[in-house]
Amino acid sequence: MSKKGIIQRKLILVSTVVLVLAMALTACGKKSSNDDKKSTARTLQEIKDSGEVVIGVFSDKKPFGYVDENGEYQGYDVYFGNRIAKDLGVEVKYVPVEAASRVEYLRSAKVDIILANFTVNEERAKQVDFALPYMKVALGIVSPDSALITDPEQLNGKTLIISKGTTAETYFAENYPDVKLLKFDQYSEAYNALLDGRGDALSTDNTEVLAWAIENKGFSVGVDSLGNQDTIAAAVQKGNTELLNWINDEIRSLADEQFFHKNYEETLAPVYGDAANPDNLVIEGGVIE
């Protein structure tokens, strides 16, 4: 090969290396961009201008957020979501979420608001902004009547069913390391596991296990209050102050008509009956009494 040919070949090789490096750097840049899933949330005015508010709710957590036999969203959280849309003067679009995806759906702006039985805690408050609370909650444990769990200590060495991303997962991991946790993404999967006998008990919000036990004979809530007395609240993307303030003002104004007690009567009372006192669960105006 001539000297000129050798030089040309070297130039081609150098160009190829440069091109490969450029493509690699571009790919890295794209990966970095994708890794940061934070997207800018819509402002209050943008929501109004669009004519639609997007709200993340559960689709399988009756009676708080679920899809009925007609394919319609129903439940305590949905009842509140409908009122938010009405007072904003827009339509509502519900997006199904899982417990572990609630924060990510706000960070990525897939939804404007989360109304999915979202318990307020310090770790979550670092990632999202919580509005004023509208419900009180603690953890509960439901198990078969034939082997009823009445104390969490009874679960040591046994299997407890939980949903990922819930306060139950955190609480038992920190306080009961000898309890085997069987984790599921969806609540429906978790309850099916309990029905199938794949675990000795299931833990989630006491309000929810009580409702489930009432509708499923052969199961009872042996532990009806565990851990801290917490609250449930709507959440928005961190820093979306305008929307947060609007929701807080809405909650305060709804206290005049005892909105959340009406909500309870419509959505929860038919399930709980006399098994629960609404005053022990409902919060009006964001004020805990």
Question: What are the two backbone dihedrals, phi and then psi, of residue 53, each rounded to the nearest 5 degrees?
Answer: -110, 135
Q: Is 231 helix (H, G, I), strand (E, B) or coil?
A: strand
Cross-strand bridge partners of residue 119: 232
- 84 with 53: CB under 8 angstroms? yes
3-state SS, residue 41:
coil
Which pTM does this prediction carry? 0.78
Q: Kindly report, residue by residue over 92-148, the tens digit of the pLDDT.
A: 999 999 999 999 999 999 999 999 999 999 999 999 999 999 999 999 999 999 999
Each residue's pLDDT tens digit, 152-164: 999 999 999 999 9
d(CA 167, CA 171): 6
Q: For 28-42, 82-96, 98-112, which range has the lowest pLDDT when averaged over its residues?
A: 28-42
> pLDDT at position 289, please?
80
Q: Which two tokens stand for residue 248?
A: 């807080």
> What pLDDT sits at residue 1?
52
For residue 95, the SS3 value is strand
Q: What are phi and psi of 189, to 5 degrees?
A: -65, -40
Determine the pLDDT at residue 276. Answer: 86
pLDDT of residue 220: 96
Q: Which one, of 113, 110, 107, 111, lies nearest residue 127 by Cα?
A: 107
Taking the C-alpha atoms of residue 110 and residue 248, their distance in angstroms, rounded to an integer, is 21
pLDDT of residue 263: 98
- The residue written with tokens 């489930």 in the block is 212
